[in-house]
Chains A and B, each alone.
Chain A
Amino acid sequence: METVLALVIGALYAAGLFMMLRPSAVRLIIGISLLGHAANLLIFTIAGLTRARPPLITGGLTTASAIADPMPQALILTAIVIGFAVQAFAVVLIQRVVQIVGTDDLDQMKTTDS
């Protein structure tokens, strides 16, 4: 399972970076969100996959290895919420940029570069 997820994460990173390198601003957003998903999935996988053992300690169960680690899931949940907000902002920003600059071609947005 870890191997499959590792490949998925790699593919997500690759796709995200590829999309970010496209000149279109909309693809940039898609790339950013793919990158965020890849990072979340990475945390999920690297902390260890434990199947069907929820982190609820019932009577008699004391060893830590018998249950899933709830911590990475809490981290991911927070990261997803933050990522959602940031991506929502990015979408609005892109919309304003396209309105004001008049194009979604990122190659034409370099008047402020030095």
Chain B
Amino acid sequence: MNVLLILPLLIPLSAATLSMFTWRSRRTQRVLGVVGTALLLGSVLMLLRSVSRAGIQVTQVGAWPAPFGITIVADLFSAIMLVLAGITGLSVAVYSMVTVDRARERFGYYPLLHALLMGVCGAFLAGDLFNLYVWFEVMLMASFVLMALGGERAQMEGAIKYVTINLIASALFLAAVGMLYGVVGTLNMADLAQKLRDAPRLDLLTAIAMLFLVAFGIKAAVFPFFFWLPASYHTPPVAVSAIFAGLLTKVGVYALIRVFTLLFVQDLGYTHTIILVLSGLTMVTGVLGAVAQNEIRRVLSFHIISQIGYMTLGLGLFTTAGIAGSIFYIVHHIIVKTNLFLVSGVVYLLRGTFELKNLGGLYSSNPGLAILFLVPALSLAGLPPLSGFFAKLTIVQAGLQAEQYLLVATALMVGLLTLFSMTKIWAEVFWKQAPAGSNAAEATGAVAKRGAAWILLAPIIFLAAITITIGLAVEPVYLLASRAAEQLMDPTEYISRVLERSF
């Protein structure tokens, strides 16, 4: 029994339970929120270190041997994703202390946040497909309630779309899992990988692969399944938007990468070509949608979609360099996107609106915040020396190696349009004069207190520092990503570690 593998599930579970017991004390729940997520981050960092040194870690729950029991497994890719979940969780928990209102805190915001993190961590650690489904549901259930909590009209409208599309995706996922069991007779991913590699090529398997592609594609907001995202992600409070934008769609991308490197590699010419085409279309439609928007969070929501295209592009190339690029891109994207949403929340607290036309003049009143916006914004657009430049560079290099020139050109064009969007936000929110009649001087109560302002800015500075650090120290991060990619491209270690019967 490897304790490090259990802790990412146990810590959020305990934190959620304790928060429930301290239902009446909002202060205790806040402290539990920060302490719980900090412990989570600590434990997943230790897990990453141990996976990086000693290879893939496996625990068979209840000591039932692998294809029969429940397997919890962490390879480098899982460990990296867990660390990202920890970073996002901690940042959002700190940020929530001052931004989440009294009513939401009283009705279980913090327990839900922990439950959400538990579902996300569980999905990253699941060693068989049915458990992946169950963890997806845990995550979804928490996210449904977080989305609807507060009961504003926009939230309700967003929630109904979010809930419906996710339930459809879950039903498809479940059907695909059932069919795969019917064909292969196992659901343990390592066992499946082994059996599918020996099996003859079957058209039915390709059909099942497409079902998985649709189910995870909906959750990852890949073209043409993305309409729910810009309709819902901008409706809940900023802290919730930030953790959704940072983490949730990336769980879908994680599942896509896992399934299409480990299981469905029989018919690469068909499945991965489809992924490539979808990636190109995802990038283009996402960025074009963003250009048309005039509200900060809607612009940022559309950019999530276009960025998802880059991540699946690396998967579609199906080379070690491509997958490494995808992983690097996910690392960069989660941190940057969470940060941008957090900044948008500060802008809202300062001016009381997300509409670009009603904003302005923040550079002269809050130059520090403007700089803190520029770091993730320019990183998202891919300017050196920030993390986004190297993330795009690795993807583009992998694309050139695989001779996908059209997609590379698309990726570069999309990068340019991203820069356009980010400069639009910059110009409208920070640079131009505040429009006449706006309540420029009127800071809301939350930011007026000096201590509260630092609590707001701390996670933003933390995430911006990570972005800059990744940009300045690319090599260790890239090496980690490419080692994770090697593990994904050659799953023999994964299979043998999971299926070994020594305990």
Contacts and interface: CB of A to CB of B under 8 A. Distances in A.
Given A35-B168, A109-B157, A96 B148 contact: yes
B137 A112 contact: no
A100 B151 contact: yes
B30 interface: no
B425 to A, nearest CB: 16
B396 to A, nearest CB: 29
Interface in B219-246: 227, 230-232, 234-235
B130 A75 contact: yes
A32 B164 contact: yes
Contacts of B289: 114
A66 interface: no
Given A82-B134, A100-B151, A43 B175 contact: yes
A85 B181 contact: no
A28 B160 CA distance: 10
B141 A89 contact: yes
Contact of A82 (B137, B163, B172): B137
Given A78-B134, A101-B153, A112-B232, A42 B175 contact: yes
Interface in B124-157: 130, 133-134, 137, 140-141, 144-145, 148, 151-154, 156-157
A8 interface: no
Interface residues on A, range: 35 or more
A57 interface: no
Interface in A64-114: 71-72, 75, 78-79, 82, 85-86, 89-90, 93-94, 96-97, 100-101, 106, 109-114
Contacts of B137: 82, 86
A90 B167 contact: yes
Contact of B167 (A32, A71, A114): A32
B164 A109 contact: no
A89 B160 contact: no
A29 B156 CA distance: 15
B144 A89 contact: yes
Given A96-B148, A100-B151, A112-B235, A72 B178 contact: yes
B159 interface: yes
Given A28-B160, A42-B178, 7 more contacts: A46-B181, A86-B137, A93-B148, A94-B160, A100-B153, A112-B158, A113-B227
Interface of A: 20, 25, 28, 32, 35-36, 38-40, 42-43, 46-48, 71-72, 75, 78-79, 82, 85-86, 89-90, 93-94, 96-97, 100-101, 106, 109-114
4 shortest interchain CB distances as A-B pairs:
A43-B178, A46-B182, A109-B157, A39-B175
22 contacts: A36-B174, A39-B172, A39-B178, A43-B175, A43-B181, A71-B181, A75-B178, A82-B137, A86-B137, A86-B141, A86-B170, A97-B156, A97-B157, A100-B151, A101-B156, A109-B161, A110-B157, A111-B154, A112-B154, A113-B231, A114-B298, A114-B302
